[in-house]
Structure 1
Amino acid sequence: MLNAPTLTEARTSPRREGRLAALDGMRLVAALLVVIYHYVGTPHSQLWESPNRQVFGRLFDFANYGYLGVQLFFLISGFVICMSCWDRNLKDFFVSRVVRLYPMYWVAVPLSFAFVYFNRDLALSSHVIRAPTTLSDLLVNFTMAQDAFWVPSVDAVYWTLWTEMRFYLLFAIVVAFGLTYRRVLAFSALWLIATIVTGNMGIPIIDTIVQPKYSPYFIAGILLYLIHRFGSTPLLWGLVGVSFLLAQHQVLLDTRHMNQYLHVNMKWTLAMVLVGGFFAAVAASALGWLDWAKWKWLTVAGVMTYPLYLLHQDIGVITIRLLKGKIAPWPLLFGMIAAMLVLAYLGHRLVERPFAPRLKRLLKSGLNFDVPSRIKPRGERASAATPTNHPPRSSESQATEHMVAPIDQQPVGVADATSGRR
């Protein structure tokens, strides 16, 4: 069942890898959906002088569905993570994730915290912004694991980062053994089975590990990457189909919850059209149907997505509340989105581009568990400095000891010559 595709089912060799610009464009779409949801689609936010529904009309009805941009993020993440760590070891995988996530995050956390703290009156009157946290909470937020300790995030949007982090930790198991078609397929199938079996248990530790609410998106993304790399098979498409069926049920539950929470009237059918479009778009990219989209601005859009997501909510919502009544709603909305895009671009240029390579070099050199050559273990230093009372050994015993000495105790060059290394 989990065998690799035969030559009649798949390519004779894996597809040549390259950046998929279409996925970069999809990431920007996902981020903008979340942005428009927070600025327009949440009637409880009291951002504007009148209720959002009265100010924006049909845009408000569409913006209600913007929260589903997160699901598109997870779908793309499964695809991209599998692609980016193929032929990499666990160390490379760890370094790549830290370098990608933390530099901009470490800037966004104190920036958002300060913005909320110094505008706490405006922040507290908005239902989409958390109350300013304590210094201890702020410090825990720098780990990105605050949700594991029930510590509130500085910015509410950070909840998705802990979801992503748990996906990385789970996928790291496969990376540790080395990514192959069979291993990744087996991992995806087992995760999908675990999702089905545990989906209704409601056991916190199981939900934390399996993530049945969002796992279908990660799993589908991984499977679509296998299709992209190795070709289509009925098994792969069947598992993608099961993932979609599980996702649609969760969307139904989410739609009911959002209708009660926001007092809106979202339709499950429209939500599924949007989610179905997400699956279709990533599948089209996996099949190569979107390879023609190679515009440079798509790559720029892709690198701006993460800073935009981290910075848009608290800073944007407070700024809107500061400027409402001074600028008309529609110009203020589009002006704020444009300002957030500029801020995201600056975050990429001034934070990610200069500091990510430095952090990568630091981690590459620091994740070395060998004892530095210039440092001798304490026992060796002590034995060299302390004279012994043992009688001198005969030349015959010395020769015998040298013959049975472990390789790592032999003179420099012997171990390398034995192993064939240069």
Structure 2
Amino acid sequence: MNASDRTAPPWQGRYVTLDGMRGIAALAVALFHYNISQAPHGYVAVDFFFALSGFVLCRTYLPRWRAGLGTWQFMKQRVVRLYPLFLAGIVITTISSLSNHWTGKGEAISFDRIAASLPFNALMLPSPVTRTLFPTNVPAWSLFFELVANLGLVLVLFRLPRLGLLAIVLAAAWFFAPAVFAHDDGNLGAVWNQVGISMVRTTMSFTAGVLLARLPVKEVRHAGWLGVLCLAAIAAMLLADPAFVPATWYDLACSMILAPALVWLGARVEPSRALAPFAWFLGEVSYAVYAVHWGLMEPMRWFKDDLGFDPVLMGAVYLAACVGLGWLCVRLVDIPMRRRLNVLLHARAKPVPPRALPN
């Protein structure tokens, strides 16, 4: 490593716009769960996450797979990447759920349900004994389906031509649209009777991201106003609630068109140099925020609902708390646990150059 490599900022060479968009999307999901009126369509961030993940993983791992990376080796790497923060989220949200019994929230989740579901959820598996797949950390359903999509990527999607990928996207969209109309919105996936449509939703967006990754991408991305516009656009998409568009049509447009379009555009432009550190940081804590925010939701609602604090102010305080807790989980849980898991799983992959994509 030369001197210039040691002094290079950590965001150099990364898709910084995608990092920032991922962070903003994670905050929008958290805000939706905390106070739905402030981010009424925050749940469509999940479709953006799946499309972004498909794009990133295809760009990162397809060359390695073609060079001989096996399914088991790939899945070990993905479990090592996903599990530490997933487990941190389960632990934090379980503690929060238990505390509800002594903070006036009552038995929103009973001790029996927590005890019955925890052995499965701690292994990153949905609970077969509750209606909700992950009752103490409801958003974790998408992390489970992310792992399922990762397996499908290496077993199926890597082997298909672009036309085959397009066919899968269109077929999934064909089944997803009626489910959105039947449900009156696109907030689907967290309970057992929606597992089928959860798989369809995941397949549609994740495969769309893989398809985008198979298209030509500019290697030189200029910083400027288009990158800033992408950051503003993902926030607008998730926070807006246009009265002149029915919720079902809005959600379908976001899931099928806007989310993949923003991934495509975000991969081709960068934000201004002044915003690059901020965008990078949001990307670094985005997964942690998503994994742990549910645990802060009820304690922070006490200030808004019971003490009557200003909802806008408390929304900002809640998001700041999510970012702070997420950053601590990255530093104290994710980094050391991933290092230990790599040792336990005897990861023997040769060192590779610093990644240019978020993983």
Query: What TM-score do the two structures reach when normalised by structure 2?
Result: 0.68
Q: Distance in 2 between matches of 1:68 and 1:353?
A: 29
Instruction: Give unpaired runs (5+ residues) of structure 1.
Output: 1-16, 42-59, 232-254, 260-264, 368-422
Q: 2:59: which partner in 1?
A: 83
In the TM superposition, residue 186 of structure 1 has moved relative to its aligned partner by 5.7
**Amino acid aligned to 1:216:** M
Q: Distance in 1 between matches of 2:50 and 2:211?
A: 13
- Aligned pairs for 1:343-354 within 5 A: 343-354=325-336
1:69 aligns with 2:45: yes
Q: 1:227: which partner in 2?
A: 215
1:183 aligns with 2:160: yes
- Aligned pairs for 1:193-204 within 5 A: 195=172
Q: 1:31: which partner in 2?
A: 26
**Is the Cα–Cα contact under 8 Å of residues 74 and 218 in structure 1 kept in the other structure?**
yes
Between structure 1 and structure 2, the one with the greater Rg is: 1
Instruction: Give unpaired runs (5+ residues) of structure 2.
Output: 1-11, 180-191, 220-240, 350-359
Identity %: 24
Q: Distance in 2 between matches of 1:83 and 1:148?
A: 35
Q: Which residue among 333, 356, 362 is the counterpart of 2:344? A: 362
Q: Distance in 2 between matches of 1:297 and 1:172?
A: 33
Q: Secondary structure at the match of 1:146?
A: coil
Output one character per residue of 1:135-192: Cα deviation in whole Å (capped at 9) or x when no partner: 23111111112156757412111111222122122112048xxx4xx73536524533
1:115 aligns with 2:96: yes
Q: 1:8: which partner in 2?
A: none
**Is the Cα–Cα contact under 8 Å of residues 20 and 291 in structure 1 kept in the other structure?**
no
1:143 aligns with 2:123: yes
Q: Distance in 1 between matches of 2:104 and 2:320?
A: 22
Q: 1:385: which partner in 2?
A: none
Q: Distance in 2 between matches of 1:269 and 1:33?
A: 20
What is the CA RMSD across the aligned residues, in angstroms? 3.8
**Amino acid aligned to 1:218:** F
Query: What TM-score do the two structures reach when normalised by structure 1?
Result: 0.59
Q: 2:75: which partner in 1?
A: 94
Q: 1:213: which partner in 2?
A: 201
1:313 aligns with 2:294: yes
In the TM superposition, residue 122 of structure 1 has moved relative to its aligned partner by 5.2
Q: Secondary structure at the match of 1:355?
A: helix
**Is the Cα–Cα contact under 8 Å of residues 166 and 211 in structure 2 kept in the other structure?**
no
Count of aligned residue pairs for this structure pair: 292
- Aligned pairs for 1:14-413 within 5 A: 19-41=14-36, 60=37, 63-86=39-62, 87-88=64-65, 89=69, 90-120=71-101, 124=105, 130-132=109-111, 133-147=113-127, 152=132, 153=134, 154-174=136-156, 179=158, 183-185=160-162, 188-189=165-166, 191-192=168-169, 195=172, 208=196, 211-229=199-217, 267-268=247-248, 270-271=250-251, 274-275=254-255, 276-286=257-267, 288-290=268-270, 295-321=276-302, 324-325=306-307, 327-365=309-347
- Structure 1 residues 184 and 97: CA distance shift in structure 2, 3 A: farther
Task: Select the structure with the greater relative contact order (CA < 8 A; seq sep ≥ 6).
Answer: 2
- Structure 1 residues 147 and 187: CA distance shift in structure 2, 3 A: farther
Q: Distance in 2 between matches of 1:189 and 1:205?
A: 27
Q: Distance in 2 between matches of 1:206 and 1:335?
A: 33
**Is the Cα–Cα contact under 8 Å of residues 22 and 298 in structure 1 kept in the other structure?**
yes
Q: Distance in 2 between matches of 1:331 and 1:193?
A: 42
**Is the Cα–Cα contact under 8 Å of residues 192 and 219 in structure 1 kept in the other structure?**
yes
